Structure 1
């Protein structure tokens, strides 16, 4: 009987690697792999790959579907990361662009890329083994069972490395970036698996957020995308504008108009529907109208801080996230800063 694939356990951002002594039961540190989150189910008959969003990944990685049955000793449900590595031997690194191209509607292209840029799966948790449901089992025990299960697993199935040494985790944060990894994850050893909950801790090299493309403003030249408006879902389910991405080249501005055209909301006459952007005391009489997009496309952006419910400054485009579901882009992924009295700063 196929396993029921749960929503993956998530992480909240932190500025520094946390102290294990401050967490009951201690912490286990892992490298943070830069790929697509994947939950692989092998029930003895078929392989399914669930994702962080609503989009199953099974059809996009046929090489993993074909390899997994022969690499696992028995039915199980694994949590981990799908990654692609490129570069010469001895100097390989994770390649996000190659990975993102794997999400393609054409079966022929999927098959070609599976051969040209094959993926591998980095396992870091075990949610079920045989008839044993392990969701309520402490992570320390799940990890021990995962190590036994994958003790002899060959490429493209890998077991992520771990450490209980905070100093080693801090070193990984600096060193592993050179291989394309983007941080460290700290996991409470005593914790059960919590689907959809942000109970893990991620430490990245910069603050990033996954946001939804809401619309775009025409460039002041009258041609191309000047800025891309982005939003996040609030606790009440409302999609709120949180800022904008700009600084495109002339060529890229024109390319974006073409790329975003299928998402443009149109009226019955086929004309693009425009919206009114939020005004501030700085905008004056400036035109803040924008071309509305269906809220379906997700992008990752870099930001420095929040001011209220919006990004303080214009954010920087990092990459498109074709693996993410727009509804998963919520405020609770953001790094929150503890309050501090200004008087204490001035003193």
Structure 2
């Protein structure tokens, strides 16, 4: 997520770790590592990564790209003052819950340019902060302190936390982590993060590990966007049919080597449509903020200035893609191309094929 540029700079703070700080990152691996006596396992929260700096009444919410979240989440500013220590730096995730599940779509709506809209959404859909690391407390920097000790200090520091600032659960059991991996997805979480107890905090380095869900789906390819470098394929536009026969845009597959992008242009030529009016997504041109079915040509605050026009294809080609999980009726992240499915009919590419995780209660997760 790239936040719009903002003029406000980090405030002058007398903390031992000053903003901005690039968060420590995780490297993706396929399977949960077995416990070797040095590992701790946490749920992977699906929200906006944020490092909170508090120095008395001064609060700075730093995003992953080191720009401030302050204007978008005024309710968290107040929560931090109520529920975190007087002087501290805490790493965590801004999340938004709807009932007992996380709602990333609703969280994205919070990044809005209008102050009046921000104020309204802060009241209607307040966010929470889930803490999982402690970088500084009082006058002490903890960047070089082993994570096992930082975790213990974080538990103590959050003893007075309440409804809006929560502490992520952690376990040293690989068996329990495996259970969490399966169970917690039903509450909108998307995997497990693995940390070593002896690790210092290393900003902007991928020294942790993450294991995310991966599933496959057969989708209709209904168009493509050209690559920013020229007339080759940038991303395939993917669709699934609902029970009434409407083809919904569910995401894109975009990770191809440059040579493969050129090859795809030739492979897709037989499916080209010259008339967008004959395409199931022709109505994207008249989409506005009230449209419930997102279309691939929509302009939004996330895409302002980008050319989102697409080259329409007859919806006759089926592709198998890998994805981690759904967010509403769309893939949460970019899907990965696996293979063409010439044995599948487009009409068989429906939402019904998707595996639905068993529901789980967010309060039960946070109570751990």
TM-score, L = length of structure 2:
0.62
Q: Does 1:244 align with 2:216?
A: no
Closer, same or farther: CA 173–128 of 1 in aligned 2, 3 Å: same
Query: After the TM superposition, which parts of structure 1 deviate over 2 Å for at least 4 consecutive aligned residues?
Result: 228-232, 240-249, 251-258
RMSD: 3.1
C-alpha separation in 2, matches of 1:34 and 1:230: 28
Worse overlay, 176-185 or 50-59: 50-59
Match of 1:303 among 336, 344, 361: 336
Cα contact 1:86–1:94 (8 A) shared by 2: yes
Match of 1:6 among 21, 27, 46: 21
Q: Deviations over 1:177-199 (max 9, x none)?
A: 11111111111111111111111
In the other structure, the counterpart of 1:150 is: 158
Q: Deviations over 1:103-135 (max 9, x none)?
A: 000000000000000000000000011111111
Cα contact 2:225–2:236 (8 A) shared by 1: yes
Runs of 5+ consecutive residues of structure 2 not aligned to the other structure: 1-11, 240-248, 250-279, 288-295, 310-331, 342-368
In the other structure, the counterpart of 2:60 is: 48
Match of 1:177 among 161, 172, 185: 185
- CA-CA distance at 1:6 after TM superposition: 1.1
In the other structure, the counterpart of 2:6 is: none
1:136-215 correspondence to structure 2 within 5 Å: 136-206=144-214
Match of 2:297 among 257, 265, 269: 257
Report the 3-state secondary structure (helix = DSSP H, G, I; strand = E; otherwise coil) of the residue aligned with 1:68.
helix
- CA-CA distance at 1:55 after TM superposition: 3.1
Closer, same or farther: CA 154–262 of 1 in aligned 2, 3 Å: closer
1:81-92 correspondence to structure 2 within 5 Å: 81-87=93-99, 92=100
Report the 3-state secondary structure (helix = DSSP H, G, I; strand = E; otherwise coil) of the residue aligned with 2:333.
strand
Closer, same or farther: CA 141–251 of 1 in aligned 2, 3 Å: farther
Cα contact 1:60–1:102 (8 A) shared by 2: yes
Match of 1:67 among 79, 82, 85: 79
Match of 2:35 among 20, 30, 34: 20
Closer, same or farther: CA 143–52 of 1 in aligned 2, 3 Å: same
Closer, same or farther: CA 178–264 of 1 in aligned 2, 3 Å: closer
- CA-CA distance at 1:253 after TM superposition: 4.2
Q: Deviations over 1:4-58 (max 9, x none)?
A: 231001111111111121xxx6110000111100111001131110011243211
Aligned residue-pair number: 250
- CA-CA distance at 1:145 after TM superposition: 0.6
C-alpha separation in 2, matches of 1:231 and 1:161: 42
Q: Deviations over 1:213-259 (max 9, x none)?
A: xxxxxxx9xxxx93235689xxxxxxx98643343351564344341
Report the 3-state secondary structure (helix = DSSP H, G, I; strand = E; otherwise coil) of the residue aligned with 1:112.
helix
- CA-CA distance at 1:300 after TM superposition: 3.0
Closer, same or farther: CA 193–231 of 1 in aligned 2, 3 Å: farther
Closer, same or farther: CA 226–132 of 1 in aligned 2, 3 Å: same
